[in-house]
Amino acid sequence: MHDTSEAPSRSHSPTASGRSFLRVMLRAPLTRRAWRETAYCLLALPLGLVGGVVLAVLLALGAGLAVSLLGAVVGVLILVAGVRLARALGSVHRRMAAGLLGERLPALEPPSAGTGLFGRLDAGLRDGVGWRAVSYVLVKLPVSALGMYAVLWWLTGLVNVTAPLRWAVFGQQPSPGDTDGMPVLTPIPAGDLEVDTFAGTFGALALGVALLLLAPWPTRLVVSADRWLLRALLGPSQLADRVRDLEETRALAVDDSVALLRRVERDLHDGAQVRLVAVAMSLDMIKERLGTADSDDRADPSDDPIDLTRVRQLVDGAHRNATEALTELRDLARGLHPPVLDDGLPDALATLAARSSIPVELTADVPRRPTPAIETIAYFCAAELLTNVIKHSGATQVILTVDECHDGMLRLQVVDDGRGGAAVGAGSGLTGLVQRVRPVDGRLVVHSPEGGPTTAVVELPMHA
């Protein structure tokens, strides 16, 4: 066996990293992303400047009139109109960002409608989403200017690249005796740069190429800031996100409870109920045979002797059905709340690990006991994850860890040395785990590269 711990891989060597960086720099100006971001900055400039200035004038005028006694109502009307204008401008910015940047945000909440004139004015002034749009449109003013400055890198680069062509073909060289040469443009103040000879134009060309190679990065920086502003000011608020998440988790909880009731009903109907019906029929037949044997209407008791063998068969069948019905009822009850959780989650996981067909190394450190609902969810998550490992991973070793994090969350981690490739998706048991933990604000994170190892982490609050 060779020790390769000190031999760096080729992909991480300094030379390879340098080639990769150079390749990224050379390709950046030619990528679709660079041109889309540049087009976004160009289109956002007039919209940002005009919209921001008009909105600022409306807000200033409305605020000035609102504080006066005579023009208060007119001032409020202008303020509400400004908020509605900001909403409209925000929608245009959102559509433009979606088309050019791929930044698709959920639709904004519609403004609330009040009753009567003063009710509508009050609702317009209390429009939190609209005021966030106002903030974006106003902040877009300097951001648009920065975006235009970023585009200036492209423009100056393109102009300088054409310096030899402009000198030789279009005759832009200085006239004889002219002290001023051909100007060289730069996006940053660098004094008066000029070229006086045709050979000097190739220096301008080299500068233009350098500017074009650097141009995507100022543009990307401005667009990244704009993306953040879009999400923060034109995206859904934290309260709206929370409400939507609660609505989704409530729907999941309702669907899960309905599915559980249907499963219980189906298991009772197809399992225990059938067996108990068979027990009742067997007992009826036994009762019928015993009743016939004890009837006083028989002329001679020897005419209808009791078939003890048949009676024993009926009794054995009734006993077997009753035992199986009891077992099914116990399994059904165990599916609702495993009895092993009565002694706590660590003991229940120890029992689960002991029953696994793959060796499981268990580490449990839970100083505070979670609520019963959280313990049940954690137990079933561990059971499902171990089942997935046994069925699909081809692993030979599993490490199961449960502990309480510093932030007060219960963390359940399952690591296996299998083939990897696990992902949360349709038809996967992991999707069911996501739906199981979401109603209590839990989360599931799976890292499973091809070739393994697979790490699945479930985080749950200590209290439901």
| pLDDT score for 9 | 42
- Measure the CA–CA gap between 182 and 353, rounded to whole angstroms: 80
Burial class (CB in 10 A: 0-12, 13-18, 19+), 302: exposed
| pLDDT score for 343 | 82
Helix (H, G, I), strand (E, B) or coil at 115: coil
| pLDDT score for 435 | 79
| pLDDT score for 35 | 92
pLDDT at residue 57 tops 90: yes
- Measure the CA–CA gap between 385 and 420, rounded to whole angstroms: 13
| pLDDT score for 2 | 39
- Measure the CA–CA gap between 194 and 161, rounded to whole angstroms: 14
Quickly state the pLDDT bin for 331 (edges 50, 70, 90).
Answer: low
Q: Which residue has the higher pLDDT, 338 or 423?
A: 423
Residue type, 100: L
Q: Name the DSSP letter for residue 364.
A: E
pLDDT in tens, 242-270: 666 666 666 666 556 656 666 666 666 66
What's 339-461's CATH class?
alpha beta
SS3 labels along 312-325: HHHHHHHHHHHHHH
Count Cβ atoms below 10 Å from residue 439 Cβ, excluding itself. 20
- Measure the CA–CA gap between 189 and 78, rounded to whole angstroms: 42
| pLDDT score for 3 | 43
What is the average pLDDT score of the chain? 79
pLDDT in tens, 11-31: 445 676 667 777 877 888 889
Burial class (CB in 10 A: 0-12, 13-18, 19+), 453: middle
Q: How many residues does the chain have?
A: 464
Burial class (CB in 10 A: 0-12, 13-18, 19+), 150: buried
The residue behind tokens 């950046």 is: 28
- Measure the CA–CA gap between 221 and 241, rounded to whole angstroms: 27
